[in-house]
Structure 1
Amino acid sequence: MAGNSRPIDARGWKFEVEDANATSETWLPIAGTTTFTHNPGENEETVETTAFESEGMYEQDVMQRGASLSIEGQYRIDKATRAQDPGQLYIDSVWTDRLGFESRNRVRWRHETQTQWVVWDATVTPGEQGGGNNDKTSWSATFTRCGPSMTAEVVTP
């Protein structure tokens, strides 16, 4: 059925961060995203296992798997209240100040055509913000997965 398969639109991806301070499970959409990069090989570590019996052919084992997700976009505010987008604000003001074991938080994403979220326990590295004379202010963050990926069913209200 290759004739029926079609590429998906990049703008259909949704990204959310869990508000770990909420009393019940609360996910905050991250607004303003204009581009993202998922790197499933980030932080991978291998060890060479080539030996004489390899007969000159390289061999290796993967000893550590890792992954990262970078999102970039525009710094967003609510027009009425002037408050920063709740997802961006949580990342900028709550998550990025944490250290040690408290530096982890959950992040999730999916395409609008998918029925499951990819969920990571992760750390976050805030990105640069800036802009020029005729630009909108940029915003970005990079999430580094800690442990295995998980999934969660999409629940529609």
Structure 2
Amino acid sequence: MAATTRPIDARGWLFEVEDMEAGTTTWLPIAGINTFTHNPGENEEVAETVAFDSDGMYEQDVMQRGATLSLEGQYRINKTTSAQDPGQAYVDTVWSNLLGAESRGNIRWRHKTQTQWVVWEATVTPGEQGGGTNEKTTWAATFTRCGTPSTAAVVTAP
């Protein structure tokens, strides 16, 4: 009997950042991603609750939940205009320069087979860029979730 479930391809994940400077809701796809890491336990904090009546067994309560999403790939430009990919450029030149309450923005992602986006309000930390003689220039960013994640339905253009 054939398996009814199959693993999904990592290359099917889509990542977008919201352009908070646009007059209307505008999501910018981030091009060039070739690896990502979602860490749903990052920034978790616990309080130990061990007491004499724990009978020598460890106990804890989760006091804080956190998560990060790290994206890595290739620095991408438009072949005609030489302009950086709009999603990468927004992260590099707008979002990563904001401070305080304004340092928060929105990122969403999903696999192409899914009908819901995962949406985070987050801060961003730009990653290293570089490369060697026979390599492409790298691009990276890490997004740290702020607050509770949400979801949004995938809306297809008419």
TM-score by length of 2: 0.98
- Equivalent-residue separation in structure 2 for 1:107 and 1:4 (angstroms): 32
The whole-number CA distance in structure 2 between the counterparts of 1:19 and 1:55 is 54
Could you say which residue in structure 2 is the equivalent of 1:136? 136
The answer to whether residue 123 in structure 2 is matched with residue 123 in structure 1 is yes
CA distance in 2, matches of 1:2, 1:110: 27
Q: After TM superposition, give the deviation of residue 4 of structure 1 in Å.
A: 1.1
1:20 aligns with 2:5: no
Structure-2 separation of matches of 1:91 and 1:4: 39
In structure 2, how many angstroms separate the alpha carbons of the residues matched to 1:125 and 1:92? 9
What whole-Å deviation, never above 9, does each CA across 1:98-141 have from its counterpart, x for those lacking one? 00000000000000000000000000000000000000000000
Structure 2 residue aligned with 1:84: 84
Question: Map of 1:5-84 to 2, 5 A cutoff?
Answer: 5-84=5-84
Q: CA deviation at 1:57?
A: 0.4
Moved over 4 A (4+): none
Q: Which residue of 2 aligns with 1:152?
A: 152
Q: Which whole-Å CA distance do the structure 1 matches of 2:55 and 2:82 have between them?
A: 66
The CA distance in 1 between the partners of 2:57 and 2:104, in whole Å, is 40
1:2: Cα distance to partner?
A: 8.1
TM-score, normalization: structure 1? 0.99
Unaligned runs of 5+ in 1: none
CA gap of 1:2–1:42, structure 2 versus 1, over 3 A, is farther
Going from structure 1 to structure 2, the CA distance change for 1:2 and 1:108 (only over 3 Å counts) comes to farther
Task: Quote the offset at 1:77 in angstroms.
Answer: 0.1
Task: Kindly state the Cα deviation for residue 53 of structure 1 after the two structures are TM-superposed.
Answer: 0.6
Distance 1:115 1:103 in 2: 29
Q: How well do the aligned residues superpose, as a CA RMSD in angstroms?
A: 1.0
State the Cα deviation string for residues 23-62 of structure 1 (Å, max 9, x = none).
1100000000000000000000001000001010000000
SS at match of 1:102: helix
Q: Cα offset for 1:3?
A: 1.6
Q: 1:77 to 1:122 in 2, by over 3 A?
A: same
- Name stretches of at least 5 consecutive residues in structure 2 with no aligned partner: none
C-alpha distance in 1, partners of 2:37/2:111? 13
The sequence identity of aligned pairs, in percent, is 73
